[in-house]
Amino acid sequence: MHLRPHAMTRHVVIIGAGIVGAVSAIEALRAGLRVTLVEAGPAGGEQAASYGNAGWLSSHSVIAPAEPGLWKKVPGFVLDPLGPLAIRMRYLPQVAPWLMRYLASGWTEARVEKTAHALRALLVDAPALHHDLASAAGVAALIERRGLLHAYPSRSDFEADGLAWRVRHKTGVRWQELQADALHALEPALHPRYQFGVWVGEAGHCRDPGAYVGALVAHACAQGAASICAQATGFRFESGRLRAVRAAGADIGCDAAVIAAGAHSRALAALAGDLLPLETERGYHVIVDAPQMLPERPQLPQLPVMVSDCKAGATPMERGLRIAGQVEIAGLKAAPNWRRAEILRDHLLRIFPGLPAPLPAASLHYWMGHRPSMPDGRPCIGYASASRDVVHAFGHGHIGLASAARTGRLVAQLLSDRTPEIDLAPFDPRRFARPFAP
């Protein structure tokens, strides 16, 4: 339904047309606001983290990246540039303060559990919320709600991951445990070494995150949003009120703004009065093009699966089979290390023995992007210090896609001065202004 022109009173500029910005635009329009989206690249394009994620709508992804004892592994992160989590030596001095907060956030199980409860409120019902958005945008087929699979070599490997599942259970997550026969009946393509599985039925996945974001932005524009292809560079305030967003050397007059620029949000947040410890976790993915592009017709997986021994997730998508994972801390400007993507490619052959080995080079597509991550695993959602006319909505880390559906609703509620549907205290950007406690 198109909004009536006289209902469009407040004009909000949303900086960033990734998944958070796209949903925020739709929800702001529904709230009766006038919306302009500002994004330097194409909506759903490869420049955005939204394009390249694993596609998981994992409403159970409530565990922050840091857990008790992780500090012991930091030397390995620095010394092994090809490990699942690596820190480039040259970048270590710059990232050290962020890393200390990162480790402290998971120092005890109590801290992990506190964050988990906050994230659960943000993530619960994510597949259903995304299905509603996709249906409105005419791409309902891109959202599947068939659950997600975790595969382990043995039950003891699952039990070694006990803290995460114990905390998930405390937040209300439920799952089904699968012995070897049931696991392989559910996903026959898995390697026989996987002898235990966990099926989270409430979760889902997106079959093409880039196309999904593009469709949401197109839907927002069809509902009345304007779209400007430019790089936002700052704000113009007068007497504490926002008057314009600066982009491409010009001012876009507005009454409100949303900073949803992902890993590029830090400088904008500073201009809005908040020095925030936003870091980029560089992630890689590999896509094996659709089966008809391979010289054989291998047995391909039908379900999204996370395998514990490879620390990676494989997801069937419209284009083919995607495997995503790997965390590299090296900043926004460092060149990609494509060897990390090649490791993911090799993992595919270890996970799914039915694939042809070696995988044909012509069937492979590599990608690297920037996850916007806060050190405590919780995004920043709330008003900026400089003015309540600016709303922060960034730093979602590994849960950007799943959490975007509710984040967009929260953004619209803040812009409309309505009571947020969940407690936003755990996501308050000003939490970093408090003294750092290790």
Instruction: Look up the pTM and report it.
Output: 0.94
- The dihedral of CA 101, 106, 110, 115: what is its sign? positive
pLDDT digits (tens, 9 = 90+) for 7-21: 448 999 999 999 999
pLDDT tens digits along 373-386: 999 999 999 999 99
Domain contains 75: no
Q: Is residue 30 situated within a structural domain?
A: yes
Residue 249: is its pLDDT beyond 90?
A: no
- CATH label of the domain that carries residue 31: 3.50.50.60
Within a domain: 423: yes
Model confidence band, residue 25 (pLDDT cutoffs 50, 70, 90): very high
For residues 419 and 410, is the Cβ–Cβ distance under 8 A?
A: no
Whole-number mean pLDDT of the chain? Answer: 93
For 85, phi and psi rounded to 5 degrees? -130, 120
Residue 89: both structure tokens together = 């030596």
Domain that holds residue 19: 1-59+125-140+205-275+377-438
**Residue 170 resides in a domain:** no
Each residue's pLDDT tens digit, 69-127: 888 888 888 888 888 889 999 999 999 999 999 999 999 999 999 999 999 999 999 99
From 53, 60, 63, 51, select the one nearest 149 (Cα to Cα).
Answer: 60
CA gap 313, 291 in Å, rounded? 19
- At residue 79, the pLDDT reads 81
Q: Tell whether 299 is covered by a domain.
A: no
Q: Which two tokens stand for residue 151?
A: 């595969």
The answer, yes or no, to whether residue 2 has pLDDT greater than 70, is no
- In the numeric block, the tokens 């704000």 are attached to 235
pLDDT at 436 over 80: no
Mean pLDDT of 157-164: 96
- Domain assignment present for residue 315? The answer is no
Q: Is the pLDDT of residue 138 over 80?
A: yes
User: Domain for residue 12, yes or no?
Assistant: yes
Q: What is the 3-state secondary structure (H, E, C) of the chain?
A: CCCCHHHCCCEEEEECCCHHHHHHHHHHHHCCCEEEEEECCCCCCCCCHHHHCCCEECCCCCCCCCCCCHHHHHHHHHHCCCCCEEECHHHHHHHHHHHHHHHHHCCCHHHHHHHHHHHHHHHCCHHHHHHHHHHHCCCHHHEECCCEEEEECCHHHHHHCHHHHHHHHHCCCCCEEEEHHHHHHHCCCCCCCCCEEEEECCCEEECCHHHHHHHHHHHHHHCCCEEEECCEEEEEEECCEEEEEEECCEEEECCEEEECCHHHHHHHHHHCCCCCCCEEEEEEEEEEECHHHCCCCCCCCCCCEEECCCCEEEEECCCEEEEEEEEEECCCCCCCCHHHHHHHHHHHHHHCCCCCCCCCHHHEEEEEEEEEECCCCCCEEEECCCCCCEEEEECEHHHHHHHHHHHHHHHHHHHCCCCCCCCCHHHCHHHHHCCCCC
Specify the pLDDT at position 248: 87
* pLDDT tens string 191-221: 999 999 999 999 999 999 999 999 999 999 9
Q: Token pair of 268, please?
A: 């904008």
Position 13 in a domain:
yes
Sheet holding 232-238, edge to edge: 232-238, 241-247, 250-253
Say how far apart CA 393 and CA 382 lie, in whole Å.
Answer: 7
Strand partners for 229: 39
Based on the structure, what is the number of domains in the chain? 1
Q: What is the pLDDT at residue 295?
A: 60
Task: Tell me the mean pLDDT in the region 389-416.
Answer: 97
The stretch 228-247 carries a mean pLDDT of 96
Question: What secondary structure, in 3-state letters, does 307-321 show?
Answer: ECCCCEEEEECCCEE
Mean pLDDT across the stretch 169-190?
97
Which sign does the torsion angle of CA 326, 281, 87, 167 carry?
negative
Q: What is the pLDDT of residues 46-62, one digit of tens each?
A: 999 989 999 999 999 99
Residue 76: the pLDDT is 86
CA 74 to mean position of chain CA atoms: 24
Rounded distance between C-alpha atoms, residue 413 and residue 409, angstroms: 6
pLDDT score, position 356 = 87
